[in-house]
Homo-oligomer: A and B are copies of this chain.
Amino acid sequence: MTIGRTTWAVPEGYIPGRSTADARDLVSHDALCFLNAGERDAQVRLTVFFTDRDPVGPYRVVVPARRSKHVRINELRDPAPIPTDTEYSTLVESDVPIVVQYTRLDSRQAANALLSTIAFAADA
């Protein structure tokens, strides 16, 4: 079964720099969520674009065959952490079709806020 596309874009990115909660599930975060419904592992490359400097990447993620994977942008370290309180965009490229969704949990205030959208499927 081949589900999805190989190139995805998410123009919005912003990791809130504060949280009112310490528990990992309620710490402010940006997440890219991947579905690989196929039979081959997906080699995924993320490129992060900024407002005033060159893009950084690739960040490499493997999404195994027939698996879900949710990656917190906050936790990416190689080639460099993404700064908090900074506007960015993300380009996702995979060697096999996957599906990508972007979600933020913002707990800067007493009650958390959420946003989510399927990413833009950018294959030609």
Contacts and interface: CB of A to CB of B under 8 A. Distances in A.
Interface in A87-124: 87-89, 91, 99-101, 103-122, 124
Contacts of A117: 101, 116-118
Given A26-B109, A33-B89, A109-B111, A101 B7 contact: no
Interface in A31-53: 31, 33-37, 47, 49-52
A91 B122 contact: no
A45 to B, nearest CB: 12
Contacts of A105: 113
A22 interface: no
A45 B71 CA distance: 27
Contacts of A108: 25-26, 112
Given A7-B3, A109-B26, A124-B2, A88 B68 contact: yes
